Structure 1
């Protein structure tokens, strides 16, 4: 397959019983993540369709992991033993207008929930660039959208239902459980199986987005805060060449009676005259509507339409979070590596995320800039470049995205999480014998 493309799922595939244990589908094809770069270590995958069923499976096996929509690029969700799929548990349980919350089963994706909420007159505060990811999986790995005032997706979590290693059902809430809740929300799959998530909601809203091309890097250096604050959600795409940002995507709230004529120039960048893909040479047909066309929040906040999903095509992803106060220095540090990076890169994206108070979040107590890399699927080459990037970002104590590729030494990674020891104590309470621990957790949280 050539460069990253986005294809519409057929109704046949969506209806197929893909997650049945030891099905013929698995006999024909090894279980992999969506990008195809990672092959899971077992095909023992058991489908759960209720809390009771999940409890039974957890009690039955000594070692188990929950496998979601498989959007991670590393082995954070891997198991050598047994998988449980909760994908059939994908219903809205309740919507509470008074509390402004919605409670859903953990197998639900944002793409499923968003249209439901909008029809009821509600919305979420933000979405990631892809709406196809599961809510539970996104929150437990601190996945994010963009916006200087927008926390990552887990900041919307008001309560969680988790099944622990003993099969006990635990409910934790922001209102009642304090530090335990703050430790558990970004739980990295270490505490147990999340079966329900309660999210904050707000009145629905409309948005529009404009794209500008070729923003000079000098302008970003001199006006960084103004540029990233120019919309509700702003994304900067670059290939690190020619001292410029290739594209600036500005997603803005639509006010009543608001029909502004966009500026033809934005800090030296020119207003796009057609819809664009983040990778300029690719068709924008699968991208969300641009050119200032108004639309509901869930059709503007992601970069890609909900009716489309990434193929199992060839790409890798890495991402590093640095304090926003160091954003310009960090960007310029990476830009110095342009000739090492660009030959292996499809595109990079720069996004801002507000601070949160979750112990294992890369944005813990610091407003952040996320520097994202979408790589060509050549792991030997990427593996050589990542240590260079990590070295350049070391002065800023960069934290990698938990679900993407990095090469930081475990001791270095651990040193960047002040609440790690407390988190491991919390894990011990929920999973004293390491039923949910896998190689990823053993190395990165417990390894020397």
Structure 2
């Protein structure tokens, strides 16, 4: 196991980790030993606080601590397929893109991927990260079981159907260090991706369900520089599923036109690093993400926020964002609108309701973004917007509404207290949220 004192910065470079030490265990046994040693003080006052660190893709301090950070990328990689159970066991710190390529070589696939294949499996799951699709749940819904190192260094498995499972999957790192996960599989498939441009916003708001239902995975992109237009519509359609019969009519009625060349979500940026488009079928892992694994989609010159609203409020929430276009556009690189199916995971942003995500990729001006966020969140509050756990949001405003936004919020607080009575895995952000 390697250990050092400088934990460095996150992927975007907007924060420096505050941990006194950072360890990189090479096995679950080593990880358990270091957690047990950190927690070995006399009760809560003596324990060193511990957090897991994956691909460093969080934009806030959810993965930070003043104590010990544990890099899960040091655990041995594994892609162990159980064909009979249709599951795969992977290590927590592995990146989705690497897991996906290994699965495809064996004829297997995941049902969904996020827009970036560069993110770690456990980190994405713990924060409720997701792709897009009316019938596609977040990445956490693919979890059939997880292995967890708890505060006393013990190792335990939690499996779907067990009493604590739905509270432990999207757990914000509050219950322990996840070391392995078992994910649901299905046979491999192909996807074709097509981009359309210039959709009138009024037509989109008039029948948002029709637009997002046009393909297996749908994303809308706009800069709000022209508040009357959605700049791009990305449609990712499985080739083994029938394309929507409404597609030609809906888009023709809107006046949208197919892109004549490959597009990047950001206007004027080269699409070289984007996954292939123009309706050419390809492997699922090479189309569902927006960006290719072999490239970094930016140099970290961005900040991100996302707010997920119940499906029935989506059109009104988008209209509220449109009303703030004059304030948003100067700080915005692009706003992506995408959908997520409902699930039963207590702290999932899609808990018990299908959701529409309003994702903001900001310019790297954190003071200005943080000044705008209270206004944006106030505009979205009437629509029961839940913030993405790993992205920038006004924590003070959000924390006051958590018990109302999450029906199992207090149940999760009890679960956290039971798994970690001395607060080994607590950090400042969790405390500010009331956890």
- Aligning the two structures, in what range does the TM-score lie when normalised by the shorter sequence? over 0.9
The residue aligned with 1:394 is: 381
> How far apart are residue 20 of structure 1 and its match?
4.3
Instruction: Say if 1:332 and 1:256 are closer, same or farther in 2 by CA, change over 3 A.
Output: closer
Residue 184 (structure 2) pairs with residue 200 (structure 1): yes
Distance 1:396 1:335 in 2: 15
Q: 1:303 aligns with which of 290, 307, 323?
A: 290
> How far apart are residue 135 of structure 1 and its match?
0.5
Distance 2:240 2:253 in 1: 21
**RMSD of aligned alpha carbons:** 1.8
SS for the counterpart of 1:87 is helix
The residue aligned with 2:58 is: 72
Distance 1:84 1:409 in 2: 28
Residue 306 (structure 2) pairs with residue 319 (structure 1): yes
The residue aligned with 1:143 is: 129
Residues 274 and 292 of structure 2 are in contact (CA less than 8 Å); yes or no, is this contact kept in structure 1?
yes
Q: 2:35 aligns with which of 55, 58, 68?
A: 58
Moved more, 399-408 or 87-96: 87-96
Deviations 1:127-156 (A, max 9, x none): 000001010110010000000000000000
Distance 1:276 1:131 in 2: 18
> How far apart are residue 394 of structure 1 and its match?
1.0
Residue 215 (structure 2) pairs with residue 226 (structure 1): no
The residue aligned with 1:269 is: 256
Instruction: Say if 1:97 and 1:384 are closer, same or farther in 2 by CA, change over 3 A.
Output: same
The residue aligned with 2:331 is: 344
> How far apart are residue 445 of structure 1 and its match?
2.5
Residues 344 and 352 of structure 2 are in contact (CA less than 8 Å); yes or no, is this contact kept in structure 1?
yes
Residues 22 and 44 of structure 1 are in contact (CA less than 8 Å); yes or no, is this contact kept in structure 2?
yes
Distance 1:37 1:158 in 2: 34
TM-score (norm 2): 0.93
Residues 164 and 191 of structure 1 are in contact (CA less than 8 Å); yes or no, is this contact kept in structure 2?
yes
Residues 34 and 310 of structure 1 are in contact (CA less than 8 Å); yes or no, is this contact kept in structure 2?
no
Instruction: Say if 1:381 and 1:213 are closer, same or farther in 2 by CA, change over 3 A.
Output: same
Q: 1:209 aligns with which of 171, 193, 199?
A: 193
Residue 102 (structure 2) pairs with residue 116 (structure 1): yes
Distance 2:240 2:283 in 1: 12
Aligned length: 419
Q: How does 1:410-429 map to 2 (within 5 A)?
A: 410-429=399-418
The unaligned stretches of length 5 or more in structure 2 are 39-46
Moved more, 385-394 or 248-257: 248-257
> How far apart are residue 404 of structure 1 and its match?
0.4
Distance 1:46 1:115 in 2: 28
Deviations 1:188-211 (A, max 9, x none): 000000011000000100010100
Residue 22 (structure 2) pairs with residue 45 (structure 1): yes
Residue 234 (structure 2) pairs with residue 249 (structure 1): yes
Distance 1:159 1:267 in 2: 44
Distance 1:297 1:337 in 2: 36
Distance 1:299 1:192 in 2: 33
Distance 2:145 2:242 in 1: 37
Q: 2:165 aligns with which of 156, 167, 181?
A: 181
Deviations 1:217-238 (A, max 9, x none): 0110122111100000000001
> How far apart are residue 257 of structure 1 and its match?
11
The residue aligned with 1:6 is: none
Residues 190 and 284 of structure 2 are in contact (CA less than 8 Å); yes or no, is this contact kept in structure 1?
yes
The residue aligned with 2:219 is: 235
The residue aligned with 1:130 is: 116
> How far apart are residue 256 of structure 1 and its match?
8.9
The residue aligned with 1:32 is: 9
The residue aligned with 1:404 is: 391
Residues 212 and 218 of structure 2 are in contact (CA less than 8 Å); yes or no, is this contact kept in structure 1?
yes
The residue aligned with 2:44 is: none
- Structure 1 runs of 4+ aligned residues shifted over 6 Å read none
